[in-house]
Structure 1
Amino acid sequence: MQALAGEILAIVGPSGAGKSSFLRLLNRLDEPTSGTVLLESQDYRSITPPELRRRVGMVMQTAYLFPGTIAANIAFGPHQRGKMLAPAQIEGLLERVGLPGLADRDVSNLSGGEAQRVALARTLANEPEVLLLDEPTSALDEASVRDIEELILGIVRERRMTCLIITHNRAQAERLAGRTMVMQAGRLARIGATEQVLHAG
């Protein structure tokens, strides 16, 4: 299976099918027992885990933010690599995710949708090539879902990123993804154009 730059690939399947485990394998939160994952034609086991996770960013179902300000959260990843983000860079990321002027707000005062936007901005601060999204809208109200979807679409197009998104919402897969893969019992059952895969008999 190959995912392309600028592509959004949806991952669907029943609970327990292995969707989240698959994403965790892709940035080595879990280690594969067999097979090979290539990032830009390079075996990803030859890349250090910190560098891999910078290049392959992941946003979870629930936004796990560190206590403190939004700015501190966004600056965390680059700081780990010895890179300091200027306030203007942090503000630029916040503007991109629709939260301008909130750098100094404490993360404890965010709604679910705002927290997911901060989690996305924090991931983007690392300038990843690949974005892994594990049901990023499942805990949000419908209006926030559509807002986050538009945000994902815009960012993937702008940055020509590869994006894999787990979703239980087939309509969401149709709105976002050109291709969809179906997982069953820990295996790839089928993959293809979203409309064809989701409406297969």
Structure 2
Amino acid sequence: MPTCPTSSTYCAAAPRRRPTPTLLHRFGDWAVHDTEILDALEALVQTTAADDTLAIAAAVTATRLGADPHPALRLLEHHLTNTGRHLEEAARLGPAAAPLLPLIERHLDNGNSRYRLHAAEAHFNITDDPSVTAPVLTALLDPMGPVGVNTLQTLRRIGPPHPPHLQPRLLHWATSERRLMSEDTIWIHGRRQHLDNQLRETAHRMLT
């Protein structure tokens, strides 16, 4: 796991300056275990009640860095009862979010395709069992769209065996010389990349 790319002083001060959910997520990715950072995250949970998104991101990141998971679980339970908006945060918690599984499973057949994707990701991250997740993800590939590309990337991360009926479509996506997607582009590592490129690359990797 990569560490904070700058000094520990900067790392400790950053959550107190202009915290954003994206920045807080990076601290979880960097796995920086620092008392000052945990104190700052826990303060954000207490003082940003009006901004649920920031409070949840802070609580989830604190849990990923070794803090008590109950604040994150409490906030997520409150929201996942009514909406799938924070399912990605539950996915970041991994096995620590096991008490939320009944709420997450409600969103697996939600009409919103993005919520279904995030619910499937969360379910797999918690259980490490693709038996529930894979059928949901496979169903989201038709029609292929921006959510479909993200879904295919999640299926690749889960790994084989992939559903047999998916193989012809993977071959088509990997080798087609025609446009497969609309002109939608996404940002990857600070650069714009067409969804076609993401689709072809992911399908090719799944076939090799």
TM-score of the superposed pair, with normalisation by structure 1: 0.29
Higher relative helix content: 2
Higher relative strand content: 1
TM-score of the superposed pair, with normalisation by structure 2: 0.28
